[in-house]
Chain A
Amino acid sequence: MIAEENTSKVKSMSFLNCSRSREKVSSPTDSPPYDKEQYFKKQNVSSPVDSEHSSRGDFPNIMLEYGNEPLQYDLYATIGKGCNDAGTISVAKHIASGHNVAIRQVDLDKDLDVIALQREIVLCRQIHHESILPYYTSFVHNNEVWTVMPLMAYGSCRDLLHAYFANGLPEQAIAYILRDILCALDYLHGRGIIHRGVKASHILISAAGRVCLSGMRMACPLIKHGEWKKCVYRYPENAQKLLCWFSPEMLEQNLRGYDTKSDIYSVGITACELANGYPPFSDIPATEMLLEKLSGIMPSLNEYTTQPDLIPDENVANSEDSGKETSNTTQTVTIKRSFSANFHHFVKLCLERDPYKRPSAQSLLSHPFLKNLRKKSTSVLPSLLLPVTPLLDASKLPKEPVDNGVDKAHHVYFKR
């Protein structure tokens, strides 16, 4: 927490693309003014900021409550999309405390599974782990569900790859990220939850370098009706965007089902994604990907040992000291770069075709690749991610008006 407060003094440039305009157009000025009475009358119901949680993480430890009223927040620029594009994630300021938060607004009138969204939010509220993105509170405003969460100022690992590390993150950074993700998975797996959505875009990093797993919408419990099932068979709905990361046994959809080890395979794919800059199989059609995975073809980290056919080009600068990579140098970098034997071995273990041969999250945590790391990622990660710096001051961003008039007209019309 202190770290986050301190670093906020450092002037920084945001890598986040804040110029994207909000999809929704705010209501015209002739709409009635914001009905304060309507929103304040339910105000006594709000959720306390959990002290247990805030003492453990680096998020603001404020002894106040995040309320369930849109008026309690100032919304700034949109920083991302979620929920199959039905959700908009914006930087916001909790007015009472002045703290930066992120707010996800999900439009329920978009084509979207409301039950799945409810399940996700209920599940997230029952999870406390420092490496899993907490939801502070969630409430309904007009036809949207708002979820208040901490601002993860570096954005997702996918954002990092986009912003600067087009050819992959440094190995040390990957080690810290994966270590924290495995801690999160160990917590979930120990409670009978399969995440099913591990990928770079679901790994978020806070300004202080805290790594959080998000994307719990796909999560699936093994415990049901008081019984701990050995495996599940259900194939998740709306999973098109996740196919690359899914394990072969999950894609196979056979009677053997799949279990928590499926997440370990996704960790392997994510490791390749973080190291190579893009996920394996992303350049081939889904059917081909399926066949390759089923036949046991194992993706790997790109470097000269794994791509011997390529001839290194001596003229192009090393990836480490050039910040302005263009896409046509990608191959060269791939060849010049090399990863540790431990990292290769780690990835290989995760990507075992047979789930029984894959280690658990817990045993992977003691893999040599993850040895000799500092206890807290927060002390190291930001320096490893330089020159990228986090987005720190929300008030420098353009402010979004709260669109209050959306439902007004027909509310009045239909009130009886």
Chain B
Amino acid sequence: MPLFGKSQKSPQELVKSLREGLTALTRETGEKKLDKASDDVSKNLAAIKTVLYGTESQEPQTDQVAQLAHEMYDHNMLQLLVTHLGKIDFEGRKDVAQIFNNLLRRQIGTRAPTVEYLCSRQEIVLDLMKGYETQDIALNCGMMLRECCRYEQLAKIILYSEDFHKFFDYVEVSTFDVASDAFSTFKELLTKHKMLAAVFLDQNYDKVFDPYQHLLNSENYVTRRQALKLLGELLLDRHNFSIMTKYISNPDNLKMMMNMLREKSRNIQFEAFHVFKVFVANPNKPKPILDILLRNKDKLVDFLTKFHTDRSDDEQFNDEKAYLIKQIKELKPVEET
């Protein structure tokens, strides 16, 4: 932050200078010139960030922010920044994400100009998704992408994009931080906008739940546990009623949950319980489901009676468990017609 107001560049100058720096960064080959370009880019990014966020002693000034935003749109800076993110230095990349996220929340009346802008340039959002494939920029892209998910129009673009299925790979990469970040974006997409997600899941049931089974079977403990927990949340959300009905009609899904109840990890057992209960509580169990439950009736009652008995202070869990045991005890085969 310059000490004297006059030495500060105007928004126009900042964006111009940033653009020149980025061009140099992509064209130059000499090491010295590249270093200088990288320095310039980072300095301008830091200055732009200051205009948008203000400082401890100064609130951001609305007119400056408005001018800056226009310069950014007019020169297609968001696209440029995302495309060349990997070339920008470490701190600069974080500033890009902060700048992006701040612009995204801009509102004029009921309009959200940056969101509209991104809707007309979907490739920016799609590029952000691809960012998960490059370790160096994955977390920066994740930060921006998750902010995008908060806006329904943008979440829709991501959900319905061809590359959505790639999330099933991203959440399983071996680097824990990237996988974690990708999972939180994935979860945000499926839970933030309930109606949007419900319609999407309904239309794309197989496209989502086939690879989802793979996550539940993952070798990676964290993937398995998170996927199971999210599944429970999705099925128990009333917006997803038709998805739940479909899911709990498939005997393979029931078998899987019964196996997961016996996983070694108590946390996984517990999450599996919350999916399993939906199968049992269903008043209209399809015959294959009922058959499995009947076949295992005694074993299940015995198993559930001994299941996590130390959770005595968790009232809801104990109520649910008692209810399941009662339900299973009362199960009767339907009359064949």
Contact = CB atoms under 8 A, between A and B. Distances in A.
A128 B93 CA distance: 12
Interface string B239-274: 000000000000000001001100111110000000
Nearest to B94: A126
B216 to A, nearest CB: 10
A139 B219 CA distance: 13
Contacts of A121: 176-177, 180
Interface stretch (B17-25, B100-108, B122-130, B188-196): B100-108
A109 B103 contact: no
Given A47-B175, A109-B267, A128-B91, A227 B221 contact: no
Contacts of B221: 108, 140, 142-144, 407
Contacts of A50: 90
A328 B242 CA distance: 72
B173 to A, nearest CB: 6
A228 interface: yes
Interface residues of A, number: 40
A7 interface: no
A68 B100 CA distance: 31
DSSP class of B's interface residues: helix, strand, loop or mixed?
helix
A226 B174 contact: no
| Residue among B53, B100, B176 having the largest count of chain A Cβ atoms under 10 Å | B176
| Residue among B53, B104, B140 having the largest count of chain A Cβ atoms under 10 Å | B53
Interface in B173-203: 173-177, 179-181, 184
Contacts of B256: 416
A118 B175 CA distance: 12
Contacts of B267: 108-109
A45 interface: yes
B78 interface: no
Contact of B175 (A68, A128, A191, A407): A68
B325 interface: no
A144 B176 CA distance: 11
A45 B174 contact: yes
Given A109-B267, A223-B98, A138 B177 contact: yes
Interface string B157-183: 000000000000000011111011100
A226 B98 contact: yes
Given A114-B222, A227-B102, A410 B264 contact: yes
A273 to B, nearest CB: 28
A140 B264 contact: no
B225 interface: yes
Interface string B208-227: 00000000010111110110
Given A108-B221, A121-B180, A226-B103, A138 B175 contact: yes
A27 to B, nearest CB: 13
B215 to A, nearest CB: 13
Nearest to A230: B56
B16 interface: no
Contacts of A283: none
Contacts of A140: 174, 176, 179, 220-223
Interface in A99-127: 108-109, 114, 118, 121-122, 125-126
A226 B176 contact: no
A414 B98 contact: no
A225 interface: yes
B147 interface: yes
Given A114-B222, A410-B264, 11 more contacts: A46-B174, A108-B222, A125-B177, A140-B174, A140-B223, A225-B147, A226-B104, A228-B53, A414-B260, A414-B263, A416-B259
Interface of B: 53-54, 89-91, 94, 98, 100-105, 135, 139-140, 147, 150, 173-177, 179-181, 184, 217, 219-223, 225-226, 256, 259-260, 263-267
8 contacts: A45-B173, A45-B174, A45-B175, A108-B265, A122-B139, A125-B139, A140-B223, A411-B219
Closest 9 CB pairs of A and B: A226-B101, A138-B176, A226-B102, A118-B180, A68-B174, A226-B105, A228-B53, A45-B174, A125-B177
